[in-house]
Amino acid sequence: MSRSHCKRVPSSLKAAFEADKEQGLRTRGLSVERHAELHAVSASRLYKWMEDADLPANRLAAWFHNTNGRAVIRYLAAQAGGLFVPVPTGRKPNPMEMAELQQVLAETTGALLRFYAGQADADATLGAVQQAMEALAWHRGNVEKHSQPELEF
């Protein structure tokens, strides 16, 4: 499990597009202009889609592929009452990944305690709980696949 499995659900679709855009720039060096070329649209059109959170559904698969981001998927899954769980590989997590899981679970417990004490709002608390559930669901799937791990290519 990597840190990408422990990210919070974005607060809005616009924020999700922004996070994915940054992910594409960080991991693939993909500027908005280059991303627009891959979509066969102008950069101004792509900026407008992101600003209005109005990317056409038939463009989402290319968006995910080009940015390597999952914030939009995570946001849409949460809005539908679901979880986004990347496909586990069955490989043993490293100590850093386990420490990240422990941190997410501790932060979620803290968020729940603050909420029940009247010191936090429901949206922030739900975001923390969603993040923990996604991380645990990934580990559940990873344990299931442990006896037949995927090969690295």
Q: Is residue 10 part of a domain?
A: yes
Provide the pLDDT for residue 6. Answer: 59
Angle CA(17)–CA(94)–CA(72) in degrees, nearest 5? Answer: 10
Provide the pLDDT for residue 32. Answer: 87
Q: Is residue 90 part of a domain?
A: no
Q: Is residue 89 part of a domain?
A: no
Instruction: Identify the CATH number of the domain in which residue 67 sits.
Output: 1.10.260.40
Whether residues 75 and 100 share a domain: the answer is no
Provide the pLDDT for residue 8. Answer: 78
Q: Is residue 55 part of a domain?
A: yes
What's the token pair of residue 38?
């891959």
Whether residues 75 and 104 share a domain: the answer is no
Q: Is residue 129 part of a domain?
A: yes
Q: Is residue 64 part of a domain?
A: yes
Provide the pLDDT for residue 108. Answer: 96
Whether residues 25 and 58 share a domain: the answer is yes
pLDDT tens-digit map of 66-104: 898 999 998 999 899 888 888 787 888 889 999 999 999
Considering its fold, how many domains does the chain have in total? Answer: 2
Q: Is residue 151 part of a domain?
A: no
Whether residues 75 and 25 share a domain: the answer is yes
Provide the pLDDT for residue 92. Answer: 85
Q: Is residue 153 part of a domain?
A: no
Whether residues 44 and 73 share a domain: the answer is yes
Low-confidence ranges of the chain (pLDDT < 70): 1-6, 149-153
DSSP 8-class letter at 1: -
Domain of residue 50 covers 3-79
Whether residues 105 and 71 share a domain: the answer is no
The answer to pTM > 0.75 is: no
Whether residues 104 and 66 share a domain: the answer is no
